[in-house]
A and B are shown apart, each in its own frame.
Chain A
Amino acid sequence: MTLYEKITTLYTELTDADFAPEGTIMLQNDSDGRGDYIKEWNHPTLAKPTQEQLDGVQ
């Protein structure tokens, strides 16, 4: 499951607009072996998920 899928599973109210280039959440992958990560989280009401929350998503 990708990071995007984990986040949208945790927060079902998120929409495509939140992840758009001018959206409130910016994911990124720098092709350096670290994989996908949250670069910026600027959502006005939802808290940035913790690594524990993300790891708990099946």
Chain B
Amino acid sequence: MTISIKPTASGSTIEQDGSTILTVDGSGNVDVANNLTVTGNVPVNNTAPAFFSYPSAAVSVSSATPTKIPFNLTDFNTGDYDTTNYRFTPSVAGYYQVNAHAYFGTSVTDQQQVWIGLYKNGSAYMYASVQNASGNDNLSPSISTLIYLNGSTDYVEIYVRHGQAGATKDAGSFGRAFNGFSAFLARAA
């Protein structure tokens, strides 16, 4: 076996028996031609966006009116979550794991549904609902999915709604104990 290190005009290559196995370009980027196995730890300068937020107060939700939950506080926020508009606009393009749940502090009556909605760029992307089987009860719908965000203009928000005519209900009650909105980069695009 012959290993050769060859400088090039824009970097250098390492060849094994005449085939390139590793390339370093002029910017210092390293490309490994085949699989790379690491036995120890790999420290990573990780810039992947992530946050966890929760509301400081409940919001009043009118019947049949999707209402944004004001997730205005964070436990951590790498910088892309907006606590004023309650939206996540990540600065890295990729596939994001998004999770949210919200508690209806006002009880929901027999057979009534409540929804939680993931909105992308101002429009409903996905809803999840729960229904009260019997009597009056407090419900906590949740949603979890992977979603692509382009790393510049795409953003996501969380809305809730209920369908009980003539009723206004509090949602987002009891802060972090019962509510959360979080996301992280699962895979860069």
Interface pair A29/B127, CB less than 8 Å apart: no
Counting chain B CB atoms within 10 Å of each CB, which of A2, A31, A36 scores highest? A31
Hey, which chain B residues are within 8 Å of A31, CB to CB? Answer: 59, 67-70, 86
Binary contact track B124-136/A, C-beta < 8 Å → 1, others 0: 1001000000000
Task: Produce 1/0 per residue, A12-31, CB < 8 A to B.
Answer: 00001001110000111111
A36 x B62 contact (CB < 8 A):
yes
Report the minimal beta-carbon distance from A24 to chain B, rounded to whole angstroms. 12
Could you tell me if B124 and A21 are in contact, using CB atoms closer than 8 angstroms? yes
CA distance A8 to B64 in the complex (A): 11
A21 to B162, CA, bound (A): 11
Contacts of A5 in B (CB 8 A): 63, 166
Distance (whole angstroms) from the CB of B158 to the closest CB of chain A:
10
Contacts of B85 in A (CB 8 A): 32
List residues of B (40-74) whose CB comes within 8 Å of A's CBs: 59, 61-70
Known: A5-B166, A8-B165, A31-B70. A19 touches B64 (CB 8 A): yes
Cα A30 to Cα B62 with chains together (Å) = 12
Interface residues of B in 111-164 (CB under 8 A from A): 115, 117, 124, 127, 159, 161, 163
- Determine if A28 and B165 form an interchain contact, defined as CB atoms under 8 angstroms apart: no
20 contacts between A and B (CB under 8 A): A2-B62, A3-B65, A8-B165, A16-B165, A19-B63, A19-B163, A20-B64, A21-B115, A21-B117, A21-B127, A26-B66, A27-B65, A28-B67, A29-B59, A29-B61, A29-B62, A29-B65, A29-B67, A32-B85, A36-B67
Contacts A4-B64, A27-B62 known; 11 new A-B pairs at CB < 8 A: A4-B62, A4-B63, A5-B63, A20-B64, A21-B161, A28-B66, A29-B62, A29-B68, A31-B67, A31-B69, A32-B85
